[in-house]
Chains A and B, each alone.
Chain A
Amino acid sequence: MNAISIAVLLPLAGFLLSSLFSLTKFIGHHESGKEKLVGFLSTSMIAIPFGLFATLFASFSGETQTATLYEWFAAGTLSIKISYQLDSLSLLMAMIVTGVGSLIHLYSIGYMHGDEGFARFFAYLNLFIFAMLNLILADNMVLMFLGWEGVGLCSYLLIGFWYDRKFEGVGITTTTDAANKAFIMNRMGDFAMLAAMFLIFQKISALDYPTILSQKELFDSTHLFWICVLIFMGCTGKSAQIPLYTWLPDAMAGPTPVSALIHAATMVTSGIYLIARLSPLFVMSPDAMNVIAIVGIATAFIAATIGLAQNDIKKVLAYSTVSQLGYMFLALGVGAFGSAIFHVTTHAFFKACLFLGSGSVIHALHEEQDIRKMGGLAKAMPQTNATFLVASLALAGFPLTAGFFSKDDILAKTFESGNYGLWGIGLATAFLTAFYTMRLYTLTFLGEARYDSDKHPHESPALMTLPLWILGALSLIGGIIGLPAVIQEQNGIQSFLSTSIASVQAHHLEHATEWILIAVSSLVAILGLAVSFSIYSKAKAQGEPEGILAVLSRKYYIDELYDALIAKPFQAVSTRLLAPMDNRVLEGLVNGIGSAMVGLGSVLKQWQTGVAQNYALVITIGLILLVGYIALT
């Protein structure tokens, strides 16, 4: 049992313990001491693995370490092991997941205070981390898929955590509907993922990463194209890309720490992780890479435009997450795998900080999420205000923040690859990002108070602000792990990751060009922030949006379209055709067999007279027949 296995198994232990606590139902409104026990127990079950990963990081030599626990199952030549591999990519991801995860656990102790399902919440969170670590550290695709499904399950459980609450959406009335939507959308992607695994197995009869990557020459180009596209389709489900992104905004039905952890910082980045993990495979299929880049930039742009017109604080952040994930896929598509992971890292910092900050705001205003009914919170909540501002600037790509370096890295790599069209759209998206970020910040924290006068917002407790400060600081300085070549010749994160992901040999940009690119994206970000600030800082209460904004606020009617084209016909077929079929044909068959057996029984039960002599008579007759038969033959 080495450190890696312990780190994976501790969250599982935390899940089991918290589940036990949630069974006893001893957590009431006045039992905060016991709440603290559960909260700090499950937090430490994530913090200890983070410590272990940090120790491993400190002594990391660049070589892949493998820890095999046991053989899960074997069939023919296929042998699937519970086996974890630690290389630079999985180590970095594991540190993000456990690091951000433990901060969000800490925050949740304050946020979920007094909730009936306190222990249940922490049990789900622990289970999520366990599944996520399996996804990241698995050394074969089957174990990865176990984690992949596991995080989907936890996402479902946590979106529907407040299962008795209402939630507005297209074709959605309760939080459980939103949970179902997320789960079903993800299942569609998972289907493609399974198909990709079947294709890989068909060619090389193995599913562990080292074998796949070492025998990648065995795939012919058509085969490879479809494997890559199918894996990417799986990622569009989990990482919320076109066409399967619509579940993510509705996933905001869950508690806000969940949105921060699962639907912003970690789970949704698993698609990016997987493609980076299989990057040697993807670079062999340029067509598939183009598909990824185009879908990524399209998602980034469309989600950013939708984000301009949303009024729910968490929905703005959700569309922003979709948009930023689009950037990461753009980076993957142009072959900048390291840049994508860099953006995953910084995005985890500032988006988790933003979500936790919005949770703090929602908490202070008693579950108010509409930014039209906020404003002027900067004075009441100085700490949330400061951290939210820093994270917003990082999201907008304000110069020298973490988000600036990672986003600039992606744009520079896109420019470098020669896709100037993609670069242009990416730059436009950066402008939109800055614009909606500033709109969100201004409407929430600046201007005059628009919330009901009977509400008296106050700063959140220290348990909630401490994670905000840490994440805010990381949003500010996190960029130093990947400074551009003009500042530091040896890019930290790129060279760290170079042992585990494919590197595309590209011509390096002239320093002058790079300076120009940096200047351009800085200008765009500052311009977006300034324009947005000048519009919204004076804004009074807004009426209903008109024209193009109405279309944007209704999200291009994509949800309505899916509802009309897919969900409604499917439901019609189910209720009109399949339900009668089930009721009459199948149920008739089953009931028919049942009543036939009952009838037979009622005939046969006449024989059971209870009179011993009758039984003796039957035995005698039987005996005579038997003896007669033997005698005659």
Chain B
Amino acid sequence: MHIELNHYLWLSAFMFTVGVIGVLVRRNAIVIFMCIELMLNAVNLSFVAFSHFLSDIQGQMMVFFVMTVAAAEAAVGLAIVISLFRNRQTVNIDEINLLKG
């Protein structure tokens, strides 16, 4: 079976959906974090796929940007999670509801 652009896009959409649902339904901050990474990588996959099939280098270039941002975000995000855990002894976001008036 020949693998076409469509297949990549379907896989990317599937991964993205898994990521979104994960962000929405999980309560563990670290898992939510991983789901966000999943979404970012799903987008990366479609970028690469488009780049390959349209013979355009711009898609791959964009992927590097996304990976850079993701790395920075991981560093900051994990730091926030750690400091939350130190203060509250939990990473369950149901118990982290400072925003609620």
Q: Do A and B come from one complex?
A: yes
Given contacts A620-B20, A620-B24, contact A613 B101 (CB under 8 A): no
Q: Point out the residues of chain A lying under 8 angstroms from B93, CB to CB.
A: 611-613
Q: Point out the residues of chain B lying under 8 angstroms from A616, CB to CB.
A: 23-24
**Are the CB atoms of A617 and B100 closer together than 8 Å?**
no
B98 within 8 A of A: yes
Q: Point out the residues of chain A lying under 8 angstroms from B98, CB to CB.
A: 610
**Are the CB atoms of B24 and A613 closer together than 8 Å?**
yes
Q: Point out the residues of chain A lying under 8 angstroms from B23, CB to CB.
A: 613, 616
Range of interface residues on chain A? under 10
Q: Point out the residues of chain A lying under 8 angstroms from B100, CB to CB.
A: 608-611
When C-beta atoms are compared, the residue in chain A nearest to B32 turns out to be A613
**Are the CB atoms of A611 and B97 closer together than 8 Å?**
yes
Q: Point out the residues of chain A lying under 8 angstroms from B24, CB to CB.
A: 613, 616-617, 620
Q: Which residues 1-40 in B have Cβ within 8 Å of A in the complex?
A: 20, 23-25, 27, 32
Query: Interface residue count for B (Cβ, 8 Å)?
Result: 13
Interface string of B32-51 (1 = CB under 8 A from A): 10000000000000000000
When C-beta atoms are compared, the residue in chain B nearest to A614 turns out to be B24
Q: Which residues 607-633 in A have Cβ within 8 Å of B in the complex?
A: 608-613, 616-617, 620
Q: Point out the residues of chain B lying under 8 angstroms from A620, CB to CB.
A: 20, 24
A-B contact count (CB 8 A): 26
Q: How far, in Å, is A471 (CB) from chain B's closest CB?
A: 72
Q: Which residues 570-611 in A have Cβ within 8 Å of B in the complex?
A: 608-611
Q: How far, in Å, is A177 (CB) from chain B's closest CB?
A: 51
**Are the CB atoms of B20 and A610 closer together than 8 Å?**
no
When C-beta atoms are compared, the residue in chain A nearest to B97 turns out to be A610
Q: How far, in Å, is B82 (CB) from chain A's closest CB?
A: 18
Alpha-carbon gap, A613 to B97, bound state (A):
11
Q: How far, in Å, is A428 (CB) from chain B's closest CB?
A: 83
**Are the CB atoms of A612 and B99 closer together than 8 Å?**
yes
Interface string of B87-101 (1 = CB under 8 A from A): 000000110011111
Alpha-carbon gap, A616 to B94, bound state (A):
14
Q: Point out the residues of chain B lying under 8 angstroms from A612, CB to CB.
A: 93, 99
Q: Point out the residues of chain B lying under 8 angstroms from A608, CB to CB.
A: 100-101
Q: How far, in Å, is A611 (CB) from chain B's closest CB?
A: 6
Interface string of B60-101 (1 = CB under 8 A from A): 000000000000000000000000000000000110011111
- Out of B25, B27, B101, which one reaches A610, CB within 8 Å? B101
Alpha-carbon gap, A613 to B26, bound state (A):
9
Alpha-carbon gap, A620 to B20, bound state (A):
8
When C-beta atoms are compared, the residue in chain B nearest to A610 turns out to be B100
Q: Point out the residues of chain A lying under 8 angstroms from B97, CB to CB.
A: 609-611
Q: How far, in Å, is A206 (CB) from chain B's closest CB?
A: 61
Q: How far, in Å, is A139 (CB) from chain B's closest CB?
A: 62
When C-beta atoms are compared, the residue in chain A nearest to B21 turns out to be A620
Q: How far, in Å, is A605 (CB) from chain B's closest CB?
A: 8
Alpha-carbon gap, A616 to B97, bound state (A):
14
Alpha-carbon gap, A364 to B47, bound state (A):
103
Q: Point out the residues of chain A lying under 8 angstroms from B20, CB to CB.
A: 620
Q: Point out the residues of chain A lying under 8 angstroms from B94, CB to CB.
A: 611
Alpha-carbon gap, A2 to B100, bound state (A):
66
Q: Point out the residues of chain A lying under 8 angstroms from B101, CB to CB.
A: 608, 610
Q: Point out the residues of chain A lying under 8 angstroms from B32, CB to CB.
A: 613
When C-beta atoms are compared, the residue in chain B nearest to A623 turns out to be B20
Alpha-carbon gap, A608 to B27, bound state (A):
18
Q: How far, in Å, is B16 (CB) from chain A's closest CB?
A: 11
Q: How far, in Å, is B7 (CB) from chain A's closest CB?
A: 21
Q: How far, in Å, is A389 (CB) from chain B's closest CB?
A: 81
Alpha-carbon gap, A276 to B100, bound state (A):
74
When C-beta atoms are compared, the residue in chain A nearest to B23 turns out to be A616
Q: Point out the residues of chain A lying under 8 angstroms from B99, CB to CB.
A: 610, 612
Alpha-carbon gap, A609 to B98, bound state (A):
10
Q: How far, in Å, is A521 (CB) from chain B's closest CB?
A: 87
When C-beta atoms are compared, the residue in chain A nearest to B26 turns out to be A613
Q: Point out the residues of chain A lying under 8 angstroms from B27, CB to CB.
A: 613
Alpha-carbon gap, A266 to B64, bound state (A):
90
Q: How far, in Å, is A159 (CB) from chain B's closest CB?
A: 53
Alpha-carbon gap, A611 to B100, bound state (A):
7
B27, B32, B93, B99 — which one has the most chain A CB atoms within 10 A of its CB? B99
Q: How far, in Å, is B78 (CB) from chain A's closest CB?
A: 17
Alpha-carbon gap, A616 to B101, bound state (A):
18
Alpha-carbon gap, A357 to B7, bound state (A):
111
When C-beta atoms are compared, the residue in chain A nearest to B24 turns out to be A617
Alpha-carbon gap, A608 to B20, bound state (A):
21
Alpha-carbon gap, A612 to B24, bound state (A):
9
Alpha-carbon gap, A619 to B38, bound state (A):
19
Alpha-carbon gap, A620 to B23, bound state (A):
11
Q: Which residues 164-200 in A have Cβ within 8 Å of B in the complex?
A: none
Alpha-carbon gap, A620 to B100, bound state (A):
20
Q: How far, in Å, is A396 (CB) from chain B's closest CB?
A: 81
Q: How far, in Å, is B23 (CB) from chain A's closest CB?
A: 6
Interface string of A474-497 (1 = CB under 8 A from B): 000000000000000000000000
When C-beta atoms are compared, the residue in chain A nearest to B27 turns out to be A613
When C-beta atoms are compared, the residue in chain B nearest to A617 turns out to be B24
Alpha-carbon gap, A612 to B97, bound state (A):
8
Q: How far, in Å, is B52 (CB) from chain A's closest CB?
A: 26
B24, B32, B94 — which one has the most chain A CB atoms within 10 A of its CB? B24
Q: How far, in Å, is A266 (CB) from chain B's closest CB?
A: 62
Q: Point out the residues of chain B lying under 8 angstroms from A613, CB to CB.
A: 23-25, 27, 32, 93
Q: Point out the residues of chain B lying under 8 angstroms from A610, CB to CB.
A: 97-101
Alpha-carbon gap, A609 to B101, bound state (A):
8
Alpha-carbon gap, A609 to B96, bound state (A):
11
Residues of A within 8 A of B (CB): 608-613, 616-617, 620
List 9 tightest A-B contacts by C-beta distance, closest first: A610-B100, A610-B97, A610-B99, A617-B24, A613-B24, A611-B97, A616-B24, A620-B20, A616-B23
26 A-B pairs, CB-CB below 8 angstroms?
A608-B100, A608-B101, A609-B97, A609-B100, A610-B97, A610-B98, A610-B99, A610-B100, A610-B101, A611-B93, A611-B94, A611-B97, A611-B100, A612-B93, A612-B99, A613-B23, A613-B24, A613-B25, A613-B27, A613-B32, A613-B93, A616-B23, A616-B24, A617-B24, A620-B20, A620-B24
Extra contacts, 8 of them, besides A611-B97, A613-B93, A617-B24 (Cβ < 8 A), are A608-B100, A609-B100, A610-B97, A610-B100, A611-B93, A611-B94, A613-B25, A616-B23
